């Protein structure tokens, strides 16, 4: 079973569609905040892939009570082979959640971490490896992260800080859980036009920028533009043996100026913080 925390019109939905095209008997569990929207997605997926098994679990990773409730529901399942996180919250206007945590940190890092710890019985099987796939970012910069302020309550780059914390956490999880059969990797979908990026700039601005972006794409491969293209690295990782992957490598979706998708890599530079 693959558990995917997803957005309705983003990387998560595109990933589900691509995976079902390759294996229409896959069991997907959609962990979403908005159940009504998730049910609509489930119906659409089953309409095109009727032999698939698609279930829904309500989950808001910015609320720990929701995380614990979702984990209890998921514990009723036999096993989870692959757990993939969504893009997260992209904003510079951070705030405090009901749990007393910074919203970006709790949404992008801490809520997922608590869920994973709660699901250890399903994820940790030395005879049958499980894989965590974290959606990180090319913008995960060490300079924006501080162990003294790991929630980034005093800084102005909460998204970058949270994604660097994700990279750091992935390495730490591998050090602590590989022997128990749990492996962790990080990916970056590139700049794809989703609900997340439309929250940064409205759609008409992206439309105006598109000619320049298409030109820049001949020199910079990070502009994947569509959710389908952004899932390239994710789909590739789904087909790999997790124990064979380098835990210090970030896998990046990339698209050429002519629209060809491929995967590139980037070193995860977190060792100095973990010693």
Q: In what order do the strands lie in the sheet with 27-32?
A: 53-58, 27-32, 2-5, 82-84, 130-135, 182-188, 249-255, 261-267
How far apart are alpha carbons 174 and 232 in whole angstroms?
23
Which residues are part of the catalytic machinery?
A: 159
Report the DSSP pairing between strands 182-188 and 130-135. Answer: parallel
Q: Which residue in 251, 195, 261 sits closest to 224, CA to CA? A: 261
Q: Report the C-alpha gap between 149 and 160 in whole angstroms.
A: 13
């Amino acid at each position: 079973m693959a558990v995917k925390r997803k957005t309705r019109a983003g990387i998560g939905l595109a990933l589900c569609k691509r995976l079902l095209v390759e294996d229409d008997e896959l069991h997907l569990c959609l962990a979403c905040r908005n159940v009504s929207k998730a049910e609509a997605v489930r119906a659409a997926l089953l309409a095109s892939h009727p032999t698939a098994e698609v279930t829904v679990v309500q989950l808001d990773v910015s609320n720990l009570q929701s995380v614990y409730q979702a984990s209890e529901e998921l514990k009723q399942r036999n096993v989870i082979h692959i757990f993939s996180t969504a893009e997260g919250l992209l904003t510079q206007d951070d705030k405090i959640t009901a749990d007393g945590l910074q919203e970006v940190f709790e949404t992008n890092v801490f809520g997922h971490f608590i869920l994973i710890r709660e699901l250890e019985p399903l994820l940790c099987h030395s005879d049958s490896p499980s894989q965590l796939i974290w959606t990180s970012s090319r913008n995960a910069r060490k300079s924006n992260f501080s162990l003294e302020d790991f929630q980034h309550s005093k800084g102005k780059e909460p998204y970058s800080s949270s994604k660097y914390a994700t990279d750091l956490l992935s390495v730490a999880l591998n050090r602590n859980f590989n022997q128990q059969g749990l492996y962790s990797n990080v990916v970056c979908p590139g700049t794809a036009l989703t609900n997340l990026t439309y929250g940064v700039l409205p759609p008409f601005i992206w439309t105006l920028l598109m000619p320049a972006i298409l030109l820049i794409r001949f020199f910079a491969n990070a502009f994947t533009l569509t959710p389908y293209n952004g899932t390239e690295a994710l789909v590739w990782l789904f087909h790999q043996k997790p124990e064979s992957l380098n835990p210090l490598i970030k896998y990046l979706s990339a698209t050429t100026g002519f629209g060809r998708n491929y995967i590139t890599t980037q070193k995860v530079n977190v060792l100095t913080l973990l010693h």
